[in-house]
């Protein structure tokens, strides 16, 4: 019979939570998630705009980027950016390499989410804005994008939750985040079920809070009577 020792959770609780600097454990996971989601959000908007541009070169480059980063596994991208670049002599800190790989990947997915949101706004909005004398940029940023972002909030929630869980992949390049900490504890105590169930619970808390926060944002920016509200 397997002996389940629950005291390893209390004994290694702060070890799993991790230190603030250099960030390890759960704190490293949270910092990774917040950084790559924010960088990906900004990058996603820029690349999404490039994807609907009429300039052929900009459109081609952004398509190559999006298809490339969506078409290859995230783990391979992480290895390439850390070990692959190092074989050319450029050494990155594993934490920075992890953030870079995750942000580039999530920017590609968020670009498509953004583009989907923008293209779902009726063409009449852009026509009306242009005929009122707004330039293309003004029309985009003052009229279309506020509506588009509100419509694509559920899709963004999906991507944010996926990214929080995908930060666990950087253990493979040696970033000491929650999953690596859990495996180190398992290597010492051999209580794999207890430790892994506990970190699954911590991940669930993170993703559930994110989805609740996004639901609050959705409600706050909903316009009663319009689509994509309540």
Partner 1 sequence: MNNIIKKTNNAKKCPIYDTDQYFLSDVLLNLIIAIRDDMSDATEKNPSPAPSLQKQKKKPWMIIGIVVVVIVALIAVVVLGGFLNPTETDVLKKVQNRGQLIVGTQVPYAPFEYQNATTSKFEGIDMEIAQKVADALHVTLVIKSMDFDPLFGAVQTGQIDMAISSITITPAREQTVNFTIPYYTANQAVLEKSTSNYTNSSSLSGTKVVTQLGTTGSDWVNTNLVTPGIITAANHVDLTDVSAAATGVQDGIYNAFVVDTPVAYGYAADATTGLSVGFVIPTNEHYGICIQQNQQNFRTAVDNVIQGMIDDGSMHALLLKYHAIGV
Please, which residues bridge with residue 136 across strands?
A: none
Of these, 91, 201, 216, 221, which contacts partner 1 (CB under 8 A)?
A: 91
Segment near partner 1 (CB under 8 A), from 84-92, 136-144, 151-159, 207-215?
84-92
Tell me phi and psi for residue 177, to 5 degrees.
-110, -165
Determine, following the binding rule CB under 8 A, whether residue 143 of this chain makes contact with partner 1. Answer: no
CB of 158 to partner 1, least distance (A): 23
Q: How far apart are CA 117 and CA 134, in angstroms?
A: 21
Looking from the CA of 79 toward its CB, the CA atoms found within 13 Å total 6
How far from the centroid of its chain's Cα atoms is residue 16's Cα?
Answer: 22
Contact 149, 195 (CB under 8 A): no
Determine, following the binding rule CB under 8 A, whether residue 188 of this chain makes contact with partner 1. Answer: yes
Per-residue DSSP letter, 54: S
Segment near partner 1 (CB under 8 A), from 27-35, 123-131, 135-143, 171-179?
171-179
Q: What interhelical angle do 153-166 and 94-119 show, nearest 10?
A: 160
CB of 86 to partner 1, least distance (A): 5
The nearer residue to partner 1, 122 or 224, going by C-beta atoms, is: 224
Lookup: tokens for 26: 């759960």
Of these, 65, 109, 156, 171, which contacts partner 1 (CB under 8 A)?
A: 171
Q: Which residues bind partner 1 (CB under 8 A)?
A: 2, 22, 79, 83, 86-87, 89, 91, 94, 171-174, 176, 180, 183-184, 186-188, 190, 192, 224-225, 230
């Amino acid at each position: 019979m397997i002996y389940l020792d629950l005291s390893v959770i209390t004994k290694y609780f702060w070890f799993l939570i991790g230190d603030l600097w250099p960030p390890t454990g759960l704190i490293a996971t949270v910092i990774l998630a917040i950084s790559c989601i924010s960088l990906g959000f900004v990058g996603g908007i820029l690349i999404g705009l490039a994807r609907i541009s009429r300039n052929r070169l900009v459109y081609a480059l952004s398509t190559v980027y999006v298809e490339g980063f969506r078409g290859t596994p995230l783990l391979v991208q992480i290895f390439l950016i850390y070990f692959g670049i190092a074989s050319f002599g450029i050494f990155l800190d594993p934490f920075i390499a992890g953030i870079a790989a995750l942000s580039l990947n999530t920017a590609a997915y968020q670009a498509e989410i953004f583009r989907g949101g923008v293209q779902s706004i009726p063409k009449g909005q852009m026509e009306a804005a242009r005929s009122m004398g707004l330039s293309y940029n003004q029309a985009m940023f003052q009229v279309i994008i506020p509506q588009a972002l509100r419509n694509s909030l559920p899709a963004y929630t999906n991507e944010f939750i996926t990214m929080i869980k995908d930060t666990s992949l950087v253990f493979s390049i040696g970033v000491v985040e929650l999953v690596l900490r859990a495996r180190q504890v398992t290597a010492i105590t051999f209580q794999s079920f207890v430790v892994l169930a506990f970190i699954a619970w911590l991940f669930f808390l993170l993703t559930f809070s994110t989805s609740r926060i996004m639901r609050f944002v959705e409600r706050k920016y909903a316009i009663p009577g319009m689509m994509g509200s309540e």
